[in-house]
Structure 1
């Protein structure tokens, strides 16, 4: 289980990812607020992170990094729009998390074939499991 500082770091990373034009779209804000609630982070702490990001903390758990990557994929596709720049940014986030480049590429390729570009969790896990073994 991850601690509070790691949770805040994950959330801060997601906010940074979503803030492409310096502001969050309402749909992104609501999605991130829901993630904050799942992580037991208060709305006040979440709102504070929007203007005061914290440093990235590398997660030790490979499975937690996969979950975080999945959250970022969902966030990128929440408004059914993404640019090549956003895809490249997501790819780089995955690499920084220490995930397999081949797995990241496969997820980004396969997401185009799913409704709303949402890769089901079991498919995503299978992709990373193949590379992890």
Structure 2
């Protein structure tokens, strides 16, 4: 994955974290951890926090599902889900080409779990049901 693509994905996370007009320490930590896994430096993340770059299209279905899962995890990491975050998450999903029914089912299903994190296999099953 090219650096520009990585920066766009991290910027998506930042924009979601900023949706409720504050970034919690848990959100910062998750953004930095995900960036580190992608090989993006802490210094670059700090730059992106001030100046996020625009989203880029994600072509692979697996990459779209993975990115949506990261966004969903970020939204839930601090235990506070705000309506603005849900709207931003839904819009990211639609922009990535995820079907509205899949997004809605995921948003409902996350409430079945204490930490609101849907297990990966269950998330994949939801996507399979909507794409087959």
User: TM > 0.5 between the two?
Assistant: yes
Matched, 1:40 2:51: no
- Structure 1 residue 91: Cα displacement: 1.2
- Structure 1 residue 126: Cα displacement: 1.2
- Structure 1 residue 116: Cα displacement: 0.8
State the match for 2:52 in structure 1: 53
State the match for 1:8 in structure 2: 7
SS at match of 2:19: coil
Number of residue pairs matched by the alignment: 132
Matches within 5 A, 1:1-133: 2-133=1-132
- Structure 1 residue 23: Cα displacement: 4.0
CA deviation vs aligned residue, 1:61-81 (integer Å, no higher than 9, x gap): 111011111111111111111
| Structure 2 CA distance for aligned equivalents of residues 84 and 55 of structure 1 | 22
What RMSD, in angstroms, separates the aligned Cα atoms of the two structures? 1.2
TM-score in terms of structure 2 length: 0.94
Contact 2:19/2:84 (CA < 8 Å) preserved in 1? no
CA deviation vs aligned residue, 1:36-72 (integer Å, no higher than 9, x gap): 0111101111111000111110111111011111111
Structure 1: state its 5+ residue gaps: none
Structure 2: state its 5+ residue gaps: none
TM-score in terms of structure 1 length: 0.93
